Structure formats: C-alpha cells, structure tokens
Amino acid sequence: MTGLKPMPKVAILAGGFGTRLSEETTVRPKPMVEIGGMPILWHIMKIYSHYGCSEFVVIGGYKVEMIRDYFLHYRSRRSDVTVDLASGEVSFHGDLDEKWKVTILDTGHSTMTGGRIRRARHLLEDGTFFLTYGDGLSDVRIDKLLEQHRQSKCHATLTAVVQPGRYGSLHLGDEGKLVDGFREKGRTDGGLINGGFFVCEPEVFDLIEGDATVWEDEPMGQLVNQAKLGSYVHQGYWQSMDSLRDKEVLEEAWSTSPPWKVWE
C-alpha cells in the first residue's frame, strides 16, 4: 500500500448522457446501469475501497438525482431496519462493509468532462486525487498506480490499457512511463489506449478554462506538451461499458469469475 499516508480522494465522472447505451440510459444515468444487480458505479467504488480509499466525489449531471437518491437510501436498502410507527424513529441493524463518505455534485447537463472536473475543484484541490470514468472496470493495481505517479513528479498519470479501436490512441516515450502523444477516439487505432484510472495533482485545474472544456482535449494536450502526463501500463483486465453488448460482456464475467472483483 502507501505506508501511513491516507489514500487520496476519488473523483468519478458520472454526468454524461451515455447515448450509445440508450437502451438503459433513457431511464437512468450510465453509472447507475447495473452489473450483477449493483450499479457499475458501486463496482468502481469497491475497487478503490479495496485499496483503502474511503472518500468519493461523484461528479454528476444527467439524472444526478438518481445517484443522490441511491446514496441517501443506501443504508436502508442494505440493512435490517426497525421503524417505530408511533414516534417515527428508525433504527438500522448491523454494520455496512462500505465505510464511505460520498459527495454527489451536480455539474449540469451540458458541461463537458473538463468543466465537470473544474466544478469539483473546491472538493479536490487540497492534494493528490484519483480520477476515473463512471463506466469502466479493471483489476488495475491502484496502489502501484499511485506509487508510480508520486515517483514521476507528473501532474497527471493515466492508466494505459490494451483495447482495439474506437478509443483514444496513446504514444508513449521510450521508457513507457510518459505520454508524448495523445489522440482521442481514433477509429482504427490499436495498441495502448487511455483506460482512465488517473491520478492527478491540483495543477490540472489551471489547465481547464470552463464548462465547455473537454478534459481529453486541451488539458491533456497541454500536459503532454509540458511532459507532465505520465502513463501506468496495465496489461491486465479492463472493460468499458459503452454499449449494450459491453454490458452483456460484463454481466457474463460477473456470473463466472469477474476479474475486477479484487475486494474478495
């Protein structure tokens, strides 16, 4: 792990429309789409929690009220409960495994990824923080990712994963620990791609102009130009949920032996 240092906060981008998964996202935000009966957001949080993270900032937008409602009623859904109808007193029985502090932030419907991150600045600018998307699962070693980031002195480190096509293409330097080229969503790209699971320093906030800024464009481009965008190469499991087919792949994995279930 990371010695006596507390683990950083975890920011999760959870505000997009998820148009390519419209079969599900017409009625719920994409991070609330369920895998094995639990929202994919919960799976992501369980991964980080396994490595000692307990403070989360969920950066919402589209249908954020559903995410807020989920956590407001989280304990009542997962605990035995006694309700005194005369007094209105409610008592919960037993302890939860999840000792989490969760902040749900409404960053607006139309705000881009960079703008959403910028709107969370007041919650994250006190130190190093994790950042990831609300639709990807992996068995990435969060502790090793953080360790490499701290050694690199970069302002941000992304997790580079192997996945063909439809994602942003990366070009890494000779040692494979620094990104020296980045292009978002090339149609025929193979090799290493941006898998999310970032570690960031507060300096990244100064690279985001406003709500219309896309994190993957100008801010990451500036980090590349400054030689401040590191890469942690992960050769293990990674799967995003961009389509109904992706959801089916994750459901099938969950029913057998899910690689991302590092907490057990």
Give domain status of residue 1, yes or no.
no
Distance of CA 162 to the CA centre of its chain: 18
Q: How far apart are CA 73 and CA 76, in angstroms?
A: 5
Name the residue range of residue 164's domain.
Answer: 9-255
| Ranges 15-19, 48-52, 92-96, 174-178: which has the least confidence | 174-178
Give domain status of residue 136, yes or no.
yes
| Ranges 70-74, 151-155, 177-181, 244-248: which has the least confidence | 177-181
pTM score, whole prediction: 0.87
Does the CA dihedral 19-113-127-233 come out positive or negative?
positive
- In this predicted model, what pLDDT tens digit does every residue of 82-128 receive, in sequence order? 999 999 999 999 888 899 999 999 999 999 999 999 999 999 999 99
Give domain status of residue 75, yes or no.
yes
- In this predicted model, what pLDDT tens digit does every residue of 131-165 receive, in sequence order? 999 999 999 999 999 999 999 999 999 999 987 54
Q: What is the pLDDT, as a whole number, of residue 189?
A: 44
CB neighbours of 64 closer than 8 A, spacing ≥ 6? 14, 15, 29, 104, 105, 106
Residue with tokens 């090339």: 186
Give domain status of residue 121, yes or no.
yes
pLDDT beyond 90 at 79: no
How many domains does the chain fold into? 1
Q: What is the pLDDT, as a whole number, of residue 165?
A: 46
Give domain status of residue 145, yes or no.
yes
Phi and psi of 177, rounded to 5°?
A: -120, 5
| Type of residue at 257 | S
DSSP state of 19: G
Q: 176 pLDDT band (50/70/90 cuts)?
A: low
- In this predicted model, what pLDDT tens digit does every residue of 40-51 receive, in sequence order? 999 999 999 999
Give domain status of residue 115, yes or no.
yes
Give domain status of residue 261, yes or no.
no
Does the CA dihedral 39-245-169-142 come out positive or negative?
positive
DSSP state of 53: -
Residue 77's domain is classified under what CATH number?
3.90.550.10
Give domain status of residue 264, yes or no.
no
